[in-house]
Structure 1
Amino acid sequence: MNNRQARLFAIAATGVATLVFIGLTVDSHRQFPKLTNADTITAEVKHGMDVWHKYNCINCHTLFGEGAYYAPDLTKITQHRGEPYLKAYMRDPSKFYDEKIHRRLMPKQDLAEDEISDLIAFLDWVSKVDNQGWPPRPILVTGSFVPGADTLKTGGEQRSDLPPGARPVDSGDDERALGEQVFRGAVPACNACHSTAPGADMAGPTLAGVATRAAAIVASPDYQGQAQDARGYIRESIVSPSAHIVPGAMYSADGTSFMPTGYDGSLTDEQIDQLTAYLETLK
């Protein structure tokens, strides 16, 4: 190839690459309204984005994997934490950890109530954007991640009957073993908020000894739920977390538990039974 041919080849290749780039850009902009659910962008969502920038949240947190990496990625935070929890946390983060032990993790920003509500609306909109799998391993608040359900295989076949993130299990596994997989694989994952180590409270209380505490709560005259025994109370706490609020605990506000609702819809009755059976072993 002589100089003239090389020059023509370079010009042609640049032209083709430019056309491809322009085409992809135009196609991306064509899809943006659908991918971002643009029709759900309300005045509250727009104000929430302004709040996000006003308080420089991106200096510590990331959205869609972009931002600082000092604090958790918040792309899916409203799917991992309910609104009552997020509101209480934003009002005063220090109530959720001991600064003398853990140092200051999240500054108190003194946000107004409308700023808190609109920021949550913005984050909820962000969580529903079709980001086409990016980041590929969404960071949860505990540093774990939940792969897609389509990655689950057993015997070479796809498994769709387990919650996303649960490992394939053999048919010989007992109910408690299956329940432990539900504990780690439910959406939101139970271990994103709860530890099973004694004294290791996280966004939710440690579940070490939960079966013993459940029996004591049901036997207490202050119990307000419908369960008759420890197993029933554990199941009730999963499907109806606000049925009984433990007095003095920091995991509720205004009579509403911070525990996410909806597990009775995202999990089957069998999976809830398995999860309950596993939690019953934590005495």
Structure 2
Amino acid sequence: MNKRQSRIFAIVATGIAAVAFLGLTLHSHTRFDELTNAADITPEITHGKDVWHKYNCINCHTLFGEGAYYAPDLTKIAQHRGEAYLKAYMRDPSQFYDEQRHRRLMPTQNLSEVEIANLVKFLDWVSKVDNQGWPPRPILVAGGAVNVAAQGTEQGVAQAQDVRPVSADSDPRAIGEHLFRTVVPVCTACHSLQPGVQLAGPSMAGMAERAALTLASPDYTGNATDVEGYIREAIVAPSAHLVPGAMFSADGVSFMPNTYPESLTDEQIDQLVAFLGSMK
């Protein structure tokens, strides 16, 4: 190829790339309203966005992977945590930490109840945007399910996903563990399997023993009569019994999502119960 041919090739290739870029950009703009559920944007959601900017939340957090990486990405936080948890957390983050043990990095912003409610609505809207899987993995901080030092590596991705295929004839406990790590909202976003590691919810280590003690306590307010029934109740009706004094509920409502009866089959719930019941 001589110089003239090389020049022509470069010009044509650049022209084709420019046309493709413009075409894809125009196509994206025709789909933005659909992908972002723009029709669902209310004045409250818009105000929640203004609250997000007013308190400079993006200085620590990210949305869709954009922002600071000092604290977790909040793109799907409304699905992972739920409204009750988010409202209680925003009112007083210090209640969710042992400052001597974990260091409380989230400041108390003294948001008004209206600001909190609308910020939660904004985050709920964000969580429903079709972001086509971006960011590609949870962005966690110390104390989460993934070691921060491993993020960005194959080890970190494997830990974050931790999805191991199970065969149809697997032990129900093995299938239950698989569900625990993959069901949406993902259980590992709030619960650790390690003793003494408390995230948004209690550790699942020793679940069976704690369930037995709870059932024997006069403070138990649910309807279960055995350990398996208690674990099932905690999954399908999490507000049936609230642990006294624990920051896992607010205003009589558990932070545990109450949507699993709709998103899981009875068989899948049985498998989760089998796995959690094996946590001695």
Per the TM superposition, whether the score is higher than 0.5 is: yes
In structure 2, the partner of 1:260 is 257
Q: Answer yes or no: is the 8 Å Cα contact 1:61–1:68 preserved in 2.
A: yes
Q: CA deviation at 1:274?
A: 1.2
CA distance, structure 2, for counterparts of residue 186 and residue 64 of structure 1: 21
| Range with bigger deviation, 132-141 or 84-93 | 132-141
Q: Answer yes or no: is the 8 Å Cα contact 1:75–1:127 preserved in 2.
A: yes
Report Cα offsets for 1:148-184 as digits up to 9, x if no partner. Answer: xxxxxxxxxxxxxxxx975221344222222222221
Q: Answer yes or no: is the 8 Å Cα contact 2:77–2:127 preserved in 1.
A: yes
Identity of aligned residues (%): 69
Query: How high is the TM-score relative to the length of structure 2?
Result: 0.87
In structure 2, the partner of 1:223 is 220
In structure 2, the partner of 1:18 is 18
The correspondence of residues 30-179 of structure 1 with structure 2, limited to 5 A, is 30-139=30-139, 142=144, 166-179=163-176
Q: Answer yes or no: is the 8 Å Cα contact 1:166–1:186 preserved in 2.
A: no
Give unmatched runs, 5+ long, in structure 2: 147-160
CA distance, structure 1, for counterparts of residue 243 and residue 34 of structure 2: 43
The correspondence of residues 188-203 of structure 1 with structure 2, limited to 5 A, is 188-203=185-200
Q: CA deviation at 1:18?
A: 2.6
**Compared CA separation, residues 191 and 84, structure 1 to 2 (3 A):** same
In structure 1, the partner of 2:207 is 210
CA distance, structure 2, for counterparts of residue 9 and residue 187 of structure 1: 50
Q: CA deviation at 1:139?
A: 3.5
Q: Answer yes or no: is the 8 Å Cα contact 1:194–1:201 preserved in 2.
A: yes
The alignment partner of 2:269 has SS state of helix
Report Cα offsets for 1:86-131 as digits up to 9, x if no partner. Answer: 0001111111011122222211111111111111111111111111
Report Cα offsets for 1:36-67 as digits up to 9, x if no partner. Answer: 11101111111111111111111111111111
1:240 and 2:237 are equivalent in the alignment:
yes
Q: CA deviation at 1:5?
A: 5.3
Q: Answer yes or no: is the 8 Å Cα contact 2:145–2:192 preserved in 1.
A: no
CA distance, structure 2, for counterparts of residue 236 and residue 12 of structure 1: 65
Report Cα offsets for 1:161-209 as digits up to 9, x if no partner. Answer: xxx9752213442222222222212212222211222222111011222
One-letter identity of the residue aligned with 2:93: P
Q: Answer yes or no: is the 8 Å Cα contact 2:45–2:121 preserved in 1.
A: yes
CA distance, structure 2, for counterparts of residue 187 and residue 196 of structure 1: 17
**Compared CA separation, residues 8 and 210, structure 1 to 2 (3 A):** closer
The alignment partner of 1:225 has SS state of coil
Q: Answer yes or no: is the 8 Å Cα contact 2:87–2:117 preserved in 1.
A: yes
| Range with bigger deviation, 241-250 or 174-183 | 174-183
CA distance, structure 1, for counterparts of residue 129 and residue 9 of structure 2: 41
One-letter identity of the residue aligned with 1:109: Q
Count of equivalent residues: 264
The alignment partner of 1:135 has SS state of coil
CA distance, structure 2, for counterparts of residue 14 and residue 202 of structure 1: 51
Q: CA RMSD in A?
A: 2.0
CA distance, structure 2, for counterparts of residue 22 and residue 135 of structure 1: 24
One-letter identity of the residue aligned with 2:249: S
Q: Answer yes or no: is the 8 Å Cα contact 1:218–1:229 preserved in 2.
A: yes
CA distance, structure 1, for counterparts of residue 268 and residue 58 of structure 2: 37
Q: CA deviation at 1:6?
A: 4.9
The alignment partner of 2:178 has SS state of helix
Q: CA deviation at 1:69?
A: 0.9
The alignment partner of 2:75 has SS state of coil
CA distance, structure 2, for counterparts of residue 34 and residue 165 of structure 1: 32
Structure with the larger helix share? 2
CA distance, structure 1, for counterparts of residue 71 and residue 140 of structure 2: 11
